[in-house]
Structure 1
Amino acid sequence: MPANAQTPSAQRVIVGLSGGVDSAIAAHRLLEQGYAVEALFMKNWEEDDAEGYCAAAEDLADARAVAERLGIRLHTVNFSAEYWDRVFEYFLREYQALRTPNPDVLCNREIKFAAFLDHALGLGAEAIATGHYARVVADAQGGYHLHRAVDADKDQTYFLHLLDQEQLSRALFPLADLTKGEVRALARRLGLANAAKKDSTGICFIGERRFSDFLARYLPREPGPIETPEGVRLGEHHGLAYYTLGQRQGLGIGGVSQGREAPWYVAVKDSANNRLIVVQDSRHPLLMSTGLEALQPHWISGRAPETPFRCLARLRHRQPLQACELVEIGADGCRVRFDEPQRAVTPGQSVVFYQETECLGGAVIERGVAS
């Protein structure tokens, strides 16, 4: 019987305890609901701990403090090899191909809801739980649906759209009905030391660091010209892999050109000539797309909708949902047409589809299309 179909008292659940406040409150809420709760701390990156970027030791200490405060057992595991093989090598290949991958999406599918899930089941758990802001709904036919959380700003379904029915059947998201403010307030009432701990940012499991310096350790810098669409040279870039479409910061070219002062935006990565093309209008035609083509479509239900299919889509985390139509869906790809032009449709990122509050799945953006 899938874990989500059982009563709380019958379930042994292992929570992924990261050291942050979200997973701590997830564990607390499960205890309140009558689950038999244990916790697991995952270490997934071996390098650079001494440089201060990767706070694994500090996070483990925080996780231990939370486990002790809640009175639950804490397991530890090292998934560094799995993370390198299943997530980081893909991350590097995508950057080498001048695309901009989203490691958090793959990290959830391959580590948090695969390696962690398998390990937890091996420890005798019937389900796993995390501090993600998302909601799972079971239907009468035994299917599982992923829905957006109450806190629209913190909702993380965008990063969870690659999960499948088996993974969702074993997943619990105790923060589905809470806002971040309520989570922190509850942590303060419980006397948790990490109640005010800053949310983690940066590359999934690797942590905060100066990204260009980090990437330079794995990819060679290949400088080239920064130019306007008309061919006016403005400066030199460090390598096309280090930039993403729509990027405004870190270009190092100032704001004045031909008498007009305005910020510059990355519009085109011209790989054939190693040129970075920039523009001074955030909605320049080179940055706008009326549709997109995407590869590797994944549908949480296991079934693709019939086309044409009206729905909503999101091209990046926290972007307002955009009305669109799925024009064509195949086994290897799909085509999307938007009601309104979209800015900086970025190859390598995910387009994620919704119907009302339900996350249907998504695909990897191949290219933006202008009509």
Structure 2
Amino acid sequence: MSSLKYKIIGLLLFIIVIFIFVWEWGWTISLFFALVLIYVLFSKKGGSIFDAFKMFKAEQKELKIEQKEEDQEQLIQTSLNDFKPKKGAKIAVALSGGVDSATSAYLLKKEGYELKAFFMVNWDSAINSELNYILTDDEVCQQTKDYLDAKKVADFLGIELIRINFIKQYWDLVFQKFLKEIKMGITPNPDIFCNKYIKFKEFTDYIFKNYPELEYVSTGHYASIKTKDDDYFLGQAIDEFKDQTYFLSEIDKKILNKIYFPLANLKKSEVRKIAIKANLPTATKKDSTGICFIGKRNFPDFIANYLKDKPGKIIDQKTNKVIGKHRGVLFYTLGQRRGLNLSGNKEPYFVSKKDVKKNILYVATEKNPEFLYSNYIETENFNLLAPLELLKDFVWIKTRHSEIQYEAEILNVKNTKNKLKITIKTKEDIKAVTPGQEVVIYKHKLCLGGGQITKNEFKI
């Protein structure tokens, strides 16, 4: 409520109270009280009293909201149970050749589950050779090395390993979609596509169709499955740094009752210790990083196989002056600093906007946060993984896997033709919010779902 409204209300109260005072105690006391009230209403110090009162009210309101959120979170957490397959269940284990999936399989084996292991082949390294990219021996053999490592783990645990080819499905459902959106000028996340279309769709469908005796699918992801009253939810892992629910936010809720994540309640350091103690073949293997089809190259080098250079202007968004040239706006992403060739400036420049039609790349410095930061975010096709009623009031969001969670408020939820459009206002300004990337919403340590960012704004 504005100060003007407070003063109008104060004046009305002033008239009423003075009338009562005159009626009860006469003019002397009433006049004294009137002078005090006028001072409070209209003097500078009085204004500061009002400001302090408003601040106090706002703080009290925020404390009540926080307390309500904490109480609700405690209630939800105590009412949810960690999902665990029944004793002796038959489980399909996805082995990637890394330490996480190996430890997951080891823990399941130790608990007496009947296992069958699978290795997914999603990318053909030879495709890179056809794209005029000379592969190193390491890159050509990495997928083979991963398979051999997975085979060593399976043999060590005494379980069968089956190799499944999803190269065509990956190309059609993940890679082609990735390229299409890059050409539109947005920046998609192929890891999210891979989980949505391949690992938790094509793979799970294949398992349950061809191996009907298998009841569940298990992977080495850092996430958890929560359950209550025959309903299933995607929960965060205990290791907040390694938590991978950001990448799992677009999987189908219907599959949650068939998934198990053995690493849900373990930190990465504990997983490594378990693997070493158990003498697992991949116990000391380094974690893989990056997107499989990009490999060790940087993004511009990779995308150059599919896009031609289209030089254009780099413009300072604040001054509207041309300050450089770029090789093509599609080679850049919002927030990017390196590769702009704008050295010699007092302040570093970051990509702030891309005009694909005009082929103009806009940049800005930290001195102009209105061009680099956002506090309003929209997504138009949100994948819901929890009850709709949780999508209200205050939540936590991520716009990148590696960043912290930001407190935010759900301003609007619109359901049109089974598509959820959500408008979010963040408490803090977030740098380089990028259309095409995922905004993932959290509440009470549950992943409520995610959707690609379609719009971002900075509003004062």
TM-score computed with the length of structure 1 as normaliser:
0.92
Shift of 1:177: 1.0
The whole-number CA distance in structure 2 between the counterparts of 1:169 and 1:19 is 25
The match for 1:346 among 422, 434, 446 is: 434
Shift of 1:346: 0.5
Shift of 1:164: 2.7
User: How does 1:266-285 map onto structure 2 within 5 Å?
Assistant: 266-281=351-366, 284-285=369-370
Counterpart of 1:33 in structure 2 is 111
Counterpart of 1:249 in structure 2 is 338
Shift of 1:176: 0.7
- Residues 11-62 of structure 1 show CA distances to partners (whole Å, capped at 9, x for unaligned) of 1111110011110001001111111111101111112388243521111111
Question: Is structure 2 residue 253 aligned with structure 1 residue 165?
Answer: yes
The whole-number CA distance in structure 2 between the counterparts of 1:244 and 1:133 is 28
Question: Greater CA deviation, 168-177 or 194-203?
Answer: 194-203
Question: Is structure 2 residue 198 aligned with structure 1 residue 130?
Answer: no
Amino acid at match of 2:187: T
Shift of 1:353: 0.6
Shift of 1:168: 0.9
Counterpart of 1:64 in structure 2 is 151
Amino acid at match of 1:180: K
Question: Greater CA deviation, 337-346 or 305-314?
Answer: 305-314
Unaligned runs of 5+ in 2: 1-82
Shift of 1:108: 0.5
**Partner SS, residue 358 of structure 2:** coil
**Residues 263 and 198 of structure 1: is their aligned pair in 2 closer, same or farther, counting only changes over 3 Å?**
farther
**Residues 306 and 18 of structure 1: is their aligned pair in 2 closer, same or farther, counting only changes over 3 Å?**
closer
The match for 2:410 among 319, 322, 326 is: 326
Kept in 1, the 8 Å contact 2:377–2:456? The answer is yes
Shift of 1:231: 3.4
**Partner SS, residue 309 of structure 2:** coil
Question: Is structure 2 residue 348 aligned with structure 1 residue 263?
Answer: yes
The whole-number CA distance in structure 1 between the counterparts of 2:453 and 2:218 is 29
Counterpart of 2:23 in structure 1 is none
**Partner SS, residue 87 of structure 1:** helix
Higher strand share: 1
Shift of 1:306: 6.9
The whole-number CA distance in structure 1 between the counterparts of 2:340 and 2:307 is 19
Question: Is structure 2 residue 446 aligned with structure 1 residue 358?
Answer: yes
Shift of 1:307: 6.5
Shift of 1:362: 1.6
Shift of 1:354: 0.6
Question: Is structure 2 residue 328 aligned with structure 1 residue 239?
Answer: yes
**Residues 72 and 43 of structure 1: is their aligned pair in 2 closer, same or farther, counting only changes over 3 Å?**
same
The whole-number CA distance in structure 2 between the counterparts of 1:341 and 1:189 is 45
Amino acid at match of 1:209: R
**Partner SS, residue 144 of structure 1:** strand
**Partner SS, residue 153 of structure 1:** coil
Shift of 1:5: 7.1
Amino acid at match of 1:13: I
Kept in 2, the 8 Å contact 1:299–1:361? The answer is yes
The whole-number CA distance in structure 2 between the counterparts of 1:57 and 1:146 is 32
Shift of 1:205: 6.2
Higher relative contact order (CA 8 A, sep 6+): 1
**Residues 6 and 68 of structure 1: is their aligned pair in 2 closer, same or farther, counting only changes over 3 Å?**
closer
**Partner SS, residue 152 of structure 2:** helix
The match for 2:171 among 84, 97, 116 is: 84
User: How does 1:46-57 map onto structure 2 within 5 Å?
Assistant: 46=124, 47-48=127-128, 51-52=135-136, 53=139, 55-57=142-144
Kept in 1, the 8 Å contact 2:294–2:302? The answer is no
- Residues 246-287 of structure 1 show CA distances to partners (whole Å, capped at 9, x for unaligned) of 112222222x23xx2x32211111223211111221762101
The whole-number CA distance in structure 1 between the counterparts of 2:226 and 2:112 is 19
Amino acid at match of 1:120: I
Kept in 1, the 8 Å contact 2:373–2:433? The answer is yes
Question: Is structure 2 residue 198 aligned with structure 1 residue 118?
Answer: no
**Partner SS, residue 367 of structure 1:** strand
Higher helix share: 2
**Partner SS, residue 351 of structure 2:** strand
Kept in 2, the 8 Å contact 1:117–1:128? The answer is yes
TM-score computed with the length of structure 2 as normaliser:
0.75
**Residues 205 and 172 of structure 1: is their aligned pair in 2 closer, same or farther, counting only changes over 3 Å?**
farther
The whole-number CA distance in structure 2 between the counterparts of 1:214 and 1:85 is 18
**Residues 176 and 308 of structure 1: is their aligned pair in 2 closer, same or farther, counting only changes over 3 Å?**
closer
Structure ID, larger Rg: 2
Kept in 1, the 8 Å contact 2:390–2:443? The answer is no
Question: Is structure 2 residue 391 aligned with structure 1 residue 311?
Answer: no
The whole-number CA distance in structure 2 between the counterparts of 1:155 and 1:283 is 33
Kept in 2, the 8 Å contact 1:307–1:328? The answer is no
**Partner SS, residue 51 of structure 1:** coil
Unaligned runs of 5+ in 1: none
